[in-house]
């Protein structure tokens, strides 16, 4: 075997090991979800448990669907809003740059410098004063604010890769700005849009801190619902695993559907 082949095989093997290391906890969680509660935390671990769907039954007995709907509304709604705002913003920061691009970019990312915990009391009081507590629309708006800087930065880097010649050619052909954005540039950076959208969707879907403190019942999304299975005086690992397994299904599906675009958008750059 030549040394380059050997190196290739080694890289493949290391890649598989890394993939399995990342995937194993998720696989173990799914496996645990099918165990009876008393076999979920044994030492040594039980590899041949009495498989059961009881724990999933316990999850849906708690009526998980409204929590999933709330998460879906907030995640999809905020992602669409973020993309609607981030694409023009990124356009104005890369392809047709406004003045002080660096300052604008720094401003965007600086909004992520402060931990959310530091701003929760003012946010809470503001929402309270406008009747926005336990309201999915307001939670969605907050998620837009949280994810917008990331999307702007991501979209800017994708847009920066678009060959100027393509844009100039479109302009020479008489394309107006709207045509230039929606019919020339966006199709080129679609993998980037998919990547930014999925990242924002995942971040919103998994967000716990704001969801726990700003919702009570009506607008409560899935993450705080999951932790409610933690029982300080009992065994809960199997039922928690079952709830978490259900909770990751939408994100896994979204990732599966956008897989091709995502790999291009995240690994190779939007337009290569």
CB of 143 to another protein, least distance (A): 10
115 lies in the binding site for another protein (CB under 8 A): no
For the range 99-108, what are the long-range contacts, defined as Cβ-Cβ under 8 Å and sequence gap of 24 or more? Answer: 105/152, 105/153, 105/156, 108/148, 108/149, 108/152, 108/153
- Give per-residue burial for 104-136: e unless 16+ CB within 10 Å, then b: bbeebeeeeeeeeeeeeeebeeebeeeebbebb
10 Å CB burial of residue 20 (0-12, 13-18, 19+) is exposed
49 lies in the binding site for another protein (CB under 8 A): no
C-alpha atoms less than 13 angstroms from C-alpha of 244 in its C-beta half-sphere: 21
1 lies in the binding site for another protein (CB under 8 A): no
Part of the chain binding another protein (CB under 8 A), chosen from 24-32, 100-108, 160-168, 233-241: 233-241
C-alpha atoms less than 13 angstroms from C-alpha of 213 in its C-beta half-sphere: 15
Among 102, 164, 233, 272, binds another protein (CB under 8 A): 233
Among 134, 161, 184, 188, binds another protein (CB under 8 A): 134
185 lies in the binding site for another protein (CB under 8 A): no
Nearer to another protein by C-beta: 95 or 258? 95
Nearer to another protein by C-beta: 70 or 241? 70
| Residues 59-98: x where in contact with another protein by CB under 8 A, - otherwise, as a string | ---x--xxx-xx--xx-xxx-xx-xx---x---x---x-x
44: cis peptide before it, omega within 30°?
A: yes
What 3-state DSSP class applies to 233?
coil
Residues of this chain that interact with another protein (CB under 8 A) are 37-38, 41-43, 62, 65-67, 69-70, 73-74, 76-78, 80-81, 83-84, 88, 92, 96, 98, 120-121, 124-125, 128, 133-137, 140, 176-179, 181-182, 212-213, 215-220, 224, 227-236
């Amino acid at each position: 075997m030549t040394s380059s082949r050997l190196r290739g095989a080694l890289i493949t093997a290391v890649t598989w090991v890394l993939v399995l290391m990342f995937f194993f906890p998720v696989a173990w969680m799914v496996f645990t979800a099918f165990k009876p509660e008393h076999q979920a935390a044994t030492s040594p671990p039980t590899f041949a448990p009495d498989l059961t769907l009881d724990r999933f039954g316990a999850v849906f007995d708690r009526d998980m669907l409204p929590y999933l709907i709330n998460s879906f509304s907030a995640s999809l709604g905020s992602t669409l809003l973020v993309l609607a705002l981030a694409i023009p913003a990124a356009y104005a920061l890369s392809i047709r740059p406004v003045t002080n691009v660096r300052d604008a970019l720094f401003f965007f990312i600086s909004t992520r410098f402060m931990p959310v915990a530091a701003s929760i009391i003012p946010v809470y009081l503001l929402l309270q004063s406008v009747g926005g507590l336990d309201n999915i629309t307001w939670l969605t708006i907050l998620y837009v604010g949280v994810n917008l800087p990331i999307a702007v930065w991501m979209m800017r880097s994708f847009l920066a890769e678009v060959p100027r010649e393509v844009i100039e050619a479109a302009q020479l052909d008489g394309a107006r700005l709207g045509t230039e954005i929606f019919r020339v540039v966006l199709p080129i950076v679609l993998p980037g849009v998919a990547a930014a959208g999925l990242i924002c969707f995942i971040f919103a879907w998994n967000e716990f801190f704001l969801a726990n403190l700003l919702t009570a019942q009506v607008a409560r999304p899935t993450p705080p619902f999951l932790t409610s299975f933690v029982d300080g005086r009992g065994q809960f690992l199997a039922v928690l695993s079952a709830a978490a397994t259900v909770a990751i299904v939408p994100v896994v599906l979204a990732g599966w559907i956008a897989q091709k675009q995502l790999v291009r958008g995240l690994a190779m750059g939007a337009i290569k």
